[in-house]
Chain A
């Protein structure tokens, strides 16, 4: 059973109006390649078609066709599912005014068929053609060389012997010309029509990866739809790019391509709606259902319904996209939420491409070549990605701006804090200095000042000898030394200050025949105390030693220093013991002892006096020296110079 191919409606080699996506690209690339079809190349417009008896192709050298049917090129035909392999011979003629001196070639463009090629009976090459074990559908152009001597002056015949099975077939552009010219054309077509689809698939792959990853992390609907559309496009491209497969897979590949295109269209329509803020479940489901209809029917009919589907179902898909895009355009003109202008432009281009492809399939227009969708699809994906990437960049910028602002604020706050801190430090320093001045002044009043004052009174009264006067001055100097020892460092070391006291007192005690024993074994290496505390302690110990020196008539004086406990409970224990005659009852309340008690009280220490006639006297001072608490700090007393002078006068 044989069937005749239907005739193409027009024989024009190129459509008059090329509404072709990437035309500008083509022109630019053509300029780049530096050559287009030239005058010397001969396009072939007619062929003679004859069926060959069921002989295998390989054994056929010359056609014995009894009926040669003329056809115009480009030629499209299809063979229904289940029909057997047909073997045909196609003869084409071209005229030469002279035998060329260069190698010539045959360029096959937009031709799905392979076969054996001969010129004037000379075999020039074979391209894989359909057979029982393979289905062939070339997507790339083919170029075959013709040796110049094979050509003759006048009429030349190009013979193609080939086979075809079920499915649609195309024999569009066949051109004969000098190899040097056709080669450029061939290379250009190869890149634009074949390689471009690979590039489109690559773009889709990247889009799918980026937005798939984005969706994986963010679960954002638009990213998911875009990734899905890109995925569909990859499948579509893969199906389209398959040129040779075992026949049993042919239908599945076709189904996959069809399904992918349907899913791409539906996804696109849904995306456009979502971008218009129209997220309607029912409509979306309808779109998906309609998209699924084609593949389902196709599968159900074992692809038998395909030719009808491409004319009835496919326009529906185009219509759906057109409605979605139209809504988007309308909303944009109304200033409502709408897809990005780039997306709308790409959608319009895609629709045009779809219409061209539909027109070509339906033979409404004469357009030969790679489906325009192959150009428009990646464009659409890129256009959809652009606003998303824009948004992403915008968010990044906002985040950066926010961070910069935060940094500025933190810096400002830091500087404010620093200024405040410095101000605080300055005022603290002023306060400390003022306190220090206060303390030194008070000390001069209480100690040296009052001492000098009372001495002055005595001297004025003429009641002192030179000897006594020297003694008074010496005591004044001693008192000053105590103050200096106490002030020696920021944190006075009590042990060292007491040691200094010992060094001063020891020679005097020795001169008076007293043995001084100094026991500092239970002192830590260093006792850092505030001068406010150190000075009273030094004065008490000096007073005790001076008392012993002046009044006790002792043979030996023993000073025992110890620190006991630790932390809060740390306390200093000082004993000054002599073995003298003791202090008489009536003198226990004397001024020197009273002074000692007052000083002890000021620093929150306990002072005990043990005295017994002819046994000796022990002054026992016990002071807490744990971390300084406000209660242990001496109270600030108001300076009253007048009172000091009065007190001195009364003595």
Chain B
């Protein structure tokens, strides 16, 4: 194994999928499988023991949700890319993972090529996103800005509030284009940037969403008297 190999751990409770992902990574010379875990407990041991670049994690684990693992890894190992494995890529799972610190997600039935390219994209500083997820991220940001609950969807697009909106105008624009179903290439053309830059923006947006939601959680916890200030 060489130093520039991407080391990966897999946390997945279903053996079939665990095997499949392991095979895909084993078959890729630029990547190295650093370990697999079938539940949270094993995963915790693995995380503590191994050095790794990427964590593939399924949210629904037999001994609890993977969200906690995502949160602790993203805080303790900020260089690690966390990739959520999801059946449908539905917004609820993906957005809560992003808020916990995940920067990517992949569908369970993705082709090996998709899996490989998605991991590469992550290590290259980018993040994938689907239109529905982009839309959800926009909604999440907006509801926090306005504090108007989660019903920002039916409301007309509000002008970004500079104080609460962690996103830059460019980032918001990219999300809006993505939500309309534009591809990275098309967005790059429209904005005069490379598709790679578009994905880099996405990753930045994810990070901001995670930091923002963490701050919010701390604020709420202190409000409820859970934290001593």
Which A residues form the contact surface with B (CB < 8 A)?
474, 477, 480-481, 484-485, 488-491, 493, 495-500, 502-503, 506, 518, 520, 523, 525-526, 528, 561
Contact with A along B35-71 (1 / 0, CB 8 A): 0000000000000000000000000000000000000
| Contact-residue bracket for chain B | 20 to 34
Shortest A559–chain B CB gap in Å is: 9
Contacts of B153 in A (CB 8 A): 489-491, 493, 526, 528
Flag if A490 contacts B183 (CB, 8 Å).
no
**Docked complex: B72-105 residues within 8 A CB-CB of A:** 88-91
Q: Which residue of the partner chain, among A481, A484, A518, A526, contacts B181 with CB atoms under 8 Å? A: A518
Most buried by A among B132, B134, B135, B179: B132
Given the complex of chains A and B, what is the CA–CA distance between A421 and B176 in angstroms? 38
Flag if A499 contacts B132 (CB, 8 Å).
yes
4 closest A-B pairs by beta carbon, nearest first, are A499-B181, A499-B131, A496-B135, A496-B131
Flag if A488 contacts B132 (CB, 8 Å).
yes
B157 at the interface (CB under 8 A from A): yes
Flag if A491 contacts B181 (CB, 8 Å).
no
Given the complex of chains A and B, what is the CA–CA distance between A518 and B178 in angstroms? 12
Q: Which residue of the partner chain, among A474, A480, A493, contacts B135 with CB atoms under 8 Å? A: A493
Given contacts A490-B151, A518-B182, 13 further A-B contacts (CB under 8 A): A484-B88, A485-B132, A491-B153, A493-B132, A493-B135, A495-B179, A495-B181, A496-B131, A499-B130, A499-B179, A499-B180, A500-B131, A518-B186
B28 at the interface (CB under 8 A from A): no
Shortest B178–chain A CB gap in Å is: 7
Contacts of A526 in B (CB 8 A): 135, 153, 157, 179
**Docked complex: B117-152 residues within 8 A CB-CB of A:** 130-132, 134-136, 139, 150-151
Flag if B181 contacts A502 (CB, 8 Å).
yes
Contacts of B90 in A (CB 8 A): 484-485, 488
Residue of B with least CB distance to A487: B90
Give me 18 A-to-B residue pairs in the complex whose CB atoms sit less than 8 angstroms apart, sorted by A's number: A485-B90, A488-B90, A488-B91, A488-B136, A489-B135, A489-B139, A491-B153, A495-B179, A495-B180, A496-B134, A498-B181, A499-B131, A499-B182, A500-B130, A523-B180, A526-B153, A528-B153, A561-B181
Given the complex of chains A and B, what is the CA–CA distance between A488 and B132 in angstroms? 8
Most buried by A among B91, B150, B178: B91
Contacts of A489 in B (CB 8 A): 91, 135-136, 139, 153
Contacts of A518 in B (CB 8 A): 181-183, 186
Which B residues form the contact surface with A (CB < 8 A)?
88-91, 109, 130-132, 134-136, 139, 150-151, 153-154, 157, 176, 178-183, 186
Residue of B with least CB distance to A493: B135
Flag if A496 contacts B181 (CB, 8 Å).
yes
Shortest A193–chain B CB gap in Å is: 76
Contacts of A523 in B (CB 8 A): 180-181
Given the complex of chains A and B, what is the CA–CA distance between A480 and B157 in angstroms? 29
Shortest B226–chain A CB gap in Å is: 30
Contacts of B88 in A (CB 8 A): 480-481, 484
Flag if B180 contacts A525 (CB, 8 Å).
yes
Shortest A11–chain B CB gap in Å is: 96
Known contacts A477-B109, A518-B183, A520-B181; A495/B131 CB under 8 A: yes
Residue of A with least CB distance to B91: A488
Flag if A528 contacts B183 (CB, 8 Å).
no
Shortest B23–chain A CB gap in Å is: 18
Flag if A528 contacts B135 (CB, 8 Å).
no
Contacts of B136 in A (CB 8 A): 488-489
Shortest A562–chain B CB gap in Å is: 12
Contacts of B130 in A (CB 8 A): 499-500, 503
Flag if A496 contacts B182 (CB, 8 Å).
no
Contacts of A481 in B (CB 8 A): 88-89
Q: Which residue of the partner chain, among B109, B132, B157, B176, contacts A500 with CB atoms under 8 Å? A: B132
Flag if B180 contacts A520 (CB, 8 Å).
yes
Residue of A with least CB distance to B131: A499
Contacts of A495 in B (CB 8 A): 131, 135, 179-181
Shortest B123–chain A CB gap in Å is: 21
Given the complex of chains A and B, what is the CA–CA distance between A477 and B110 in angstroms? 12
Flag if B131 contacts A506 (CB, 8 Å).
no
Given the complex of chains A and B, what is the CA–CA distance between A502 and B135 in angstroms? 15
Given the complex of chains A and B, what is the CA–CA distance between A491 and B152 in angstroms? 10
Flag if A496 contacts B139 (CB, 8 Å).
no
Residue of B with least CB distance to A489: B153
Known contacts A506-B183, A525-B176, A525-B179; A496/B132 CB under 8 A: yes
Contacts of B135 in A (CB 8 A): 488-489, 493, 495-496, 526
Given the complex of chains A and B, what is the CA–CA distance between A489 and B91 in angstroms? 8
Given the complex of chains A and B, what is the CA–CA distance between A495 and B179 in angstroms? 7
Shortest A411–chain B CB gap in Å is: 29
Shortest B75–chain A CB gap in Å is: 29
Given the complex of chains A and B, what is the CA–CA distance between A484 and B94 in angstroms? 13
Given the complex of chains A and B, what is the CA–CA distance between A491 and B156 in angstroms? 13
Shortest A540–chain B CB gap in Å is: 16
Shortest B50–chain A CB gap in Å is: 33
Given the complex of chains A and B, what is the CA–CA distance between A477 and B108 in angstroms? 11
Given the complex of chains A and B, what is the CA–CA distance between A441 and B2 in angstroms? 53
Contacts of B157 in A (CB 8 A): 525-526
Given the complex of chains A and B, what is the CA–CA distance between A496 and B139 in angstroms? 12
Flag if B181 contacts A528 (CB, 8 Å).
no
Contacts of A497 in B (CB 8 A): 131-132
Known contacts A499-B130, A499-B132, A500-B131; A528/B154 CB under 8 A: yes
Q: Which residue of the partner chain, among A477, A490, A503, contacts B131 with CB atoms under 8 Å? A: A503
Given the complex of chains A and B, what is the CA–CA distance between A526 and B135 in angstroms? 9
Flag if A520 contacts B132 (CB, 8 Å).
no
Given the complex of chains A and B, what is the CA–CA distance between A495 and B181 in angstroms? 7
Contacts of B183 in A (CB 8 A): 502-503, 506, 518
Given the complex of chains A and B, what is the CA–CA distance between A503 and B135 in angstroms? 14
Q: Which residue of the partner chain, among A484, A493, A502, contacts B179 with CB atoms under 8 Å? A: A493
Given the complex of chains A and B, what is the CA–CA distance between A506 and B183 in angstroms? 10
Most buried by B among A488, A496, A523: A496
Q: Which residue of the partner chain, among B109, B154, B179, B186, contacts A496 with CB atoms under 8 Å? A: B179
Contacts of A500 in B (CB 8 A): 89, 130-132, 181
Residue of B with least CB distance to A511: B111
Given the complex of chains A and B, what is the CA–CA distance between A525 and B159 in angstroms? 13
Contacts of B176 in A (CB 8 A): 525
Given the complex of chains A and B, what is the CA–CA distance between A495 and B154 in angstroms? 13
Residue of A with least CB distance to B153: A491
Given the complex of chains A and B, what is the CA–CA distance between A460 and B135 in angstroms? 42
Given the complex of chains A and B, what is the CA–CA distance between A488 and B153 in angstroms? 11
Given the complex of chains A and B, what is the CA–CA distance between A526 and B131 in angstroms? 11
Shortest A243–chain B CB gap in Å is: 80
Given the complex of chains A and B, what is the CA–CA distance between A493 and B176 in angstroms? 12
Most buried by B among A480, A484, A493, A528: A493
Shortest A233–chain B CB gap in Å is: 70
Contacts of A561 in B (CB 8 A): 181
Given the complex of chains A and B, what is the CA–CA distance between A499 and B133 in angstroms? 10
Given the complex of chains A and B, what is the CA–CA distance between A506 and B184 in angstroms? 13
Contacts of B131 in A (CB 8 A): 495-500, 502-503
Given the complex of chains A and B, what is the CA–CA distance between A497 and B136 in angstroms? 11
Shortest B85–chain A CB gap in Å is: 15
